[in-house]
């Protein structure tokens, strides 16, 4: 698949993983739109990418549907068609579930899940309309595949995003749009700074004390993969049409255990109804039903 001259739209593309992805896509010859809520990140990323007129930096809050459509219009006005959407913008809160306020849930779900929904609703019809084929990648997380304590809000949102790609993949691949879930382990980034973008009306958090304790609990960034490493991995996953774009081999046992546990839980002692099996497969592959 030749990406040269095609256009990518990367949300949260001005920092960390999104910037690493933007770099790799630029290196593959694509035009790249980086869309981000932070002006300072946009300015620094534009300088770091040094992509000249192949880079468009735009301000976008992915939770703002009107703005998302405006920015998509601006991207099309500049580059023509958009072929690749990377729903990557994301934020996190971590800590015991019972401390979470509604505002903690609403902020993280609003950006990580709502922002992805807004990306799909804004961009998918545009990608299908030009008929040149395309790709949607969502940055989920390894925590969508391997259970991790203290991350209920974050991980369940990432599981939702992974599931969107799993559902959309069989639905859209026949029409030339490939869907991928990118599920990395830890990557060097600015996500610890995410609260700076938290809206005032969702400021009420149950994690202020937990955040202070975590901030003094040590910095493990040197153990994490770099944005360039994962950016290249995403590019490779796109070129290979991979559904699950994974990174860290440290999680192999966890991924395997989950697969084995769900497989073992299937009630194989009950007789299978072949008619139900066939009907189920048929119902969910036929857009007319």
User: Would you tell me which residues interact with ligand NAI (CB under 6 A)?
Assistant: 11-12, 14-18, 36-38, 41, 60-63, 88-92, 111-112, 115, 139, 141, 184, 186-187, 189-191, 194, 197
Start-end of H helices in the chain: 16-27, 39-49, 65-79, 102-109, 115-130, 152-172, 208-215, 227-239, 252-265, 274-283
Residue number, 75 or 91, with CB nearest to ligand NAI: 91
Annotated catalytic residue 154? yes
Cα dist from 121 to 82, 115, 153, whole Å:
14, 10, 23
Q: How far is the CB of 134 from ligand NAI (least distance, A)?
A: 20
Residue number, 14 or 30, with CB nearest to ligand NAI: 14
Q: Which of 154, 207, 244, 276 is catalytic?
A: 154
Residue number, 142 or 168, with CB nearest to ligand NAI: 142
Q: How far is the CB of 194 from ligand NAI (least distance, A)?
A: 5
Q: How far is the CB of 137 from ligand NAI (least distance, A)?
A: 11
State the Cα–Cα distance between residues 12 and 57, nearest whole angstrom: 11
Q: Is 142 exposed, middle or buried (0-12, 13-18, 19+ CB in 10 A)?
A: buried
Residue number, 173 or 250, with CB nearest to ligand NAI: 250
State the Cα–Cα distance between residues 160 and 162, nearest whole angstrom: 5
Q: How far is the CB of 199 from ligand NAI (least distance, A)?
A: 9
**CB neighbour list of residue 173: distance below 8 Å, 6 or more residues apart:** 179
Q: Which residues are catalytic?
A: 154
């Amino acid at each position: 698949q030749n990406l040269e001259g095609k256009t990518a739209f990367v949300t949260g593309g001005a920092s960390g993983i999104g910037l690493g992805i933007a770099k790799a896509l630029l290196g593959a010859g694509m035009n790249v739109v980086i869309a981000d809520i932070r002006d300072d990140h946009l300015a620094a990323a534009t300088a770091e990418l040094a992509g000249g007129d192949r880079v468009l930096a735009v301000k976008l809050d992915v939770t703002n549907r009107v703005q998302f459509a405006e920015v998509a219009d601006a991207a099309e006005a500049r580059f023509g068609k958009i072929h690749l959407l990377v729903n990557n913008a994301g934020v996190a809160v971590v800590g015991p579930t019972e401390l979470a306020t509604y505002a903690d849930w609403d902020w993280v779900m609003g950006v990580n899940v709502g922002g992805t929904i807004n990306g799909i609703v804004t961009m998918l019809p545009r990608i299908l309309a030009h008929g040149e084929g395309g790709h949607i990648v969502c940055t989920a997380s390894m925590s969508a595949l391997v259970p991790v304590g203290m991350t209920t809000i974050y991980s369940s949102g990432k599981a939702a995003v992974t599931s969107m790609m799993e559902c959309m993949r069989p639905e859209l691949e026949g029409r030339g749009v490939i869907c991928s879930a990118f599920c990395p382990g830890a990557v060097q980034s600015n996500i610890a700074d995410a609260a700076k973008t938290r809206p005032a009306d969702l400021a009420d958090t149950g994690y202020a004390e937990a955040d202070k304790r975590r901030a003094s609990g040590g910095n493990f960034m040197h153990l994490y993969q770099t944005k360039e490493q994962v950016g290249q991995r995403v590019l490779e996953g796109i070129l290979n049409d991979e559904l699950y774009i994974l990174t860290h081999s440290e999680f192999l046992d966890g991924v395997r255990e989950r697969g084995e546990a769900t497989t073992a839980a299937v009630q194989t002692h009950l007789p299978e109804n072949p008619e139900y099996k066939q009907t189920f497969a048929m119902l969910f592959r036929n857009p007319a039903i």
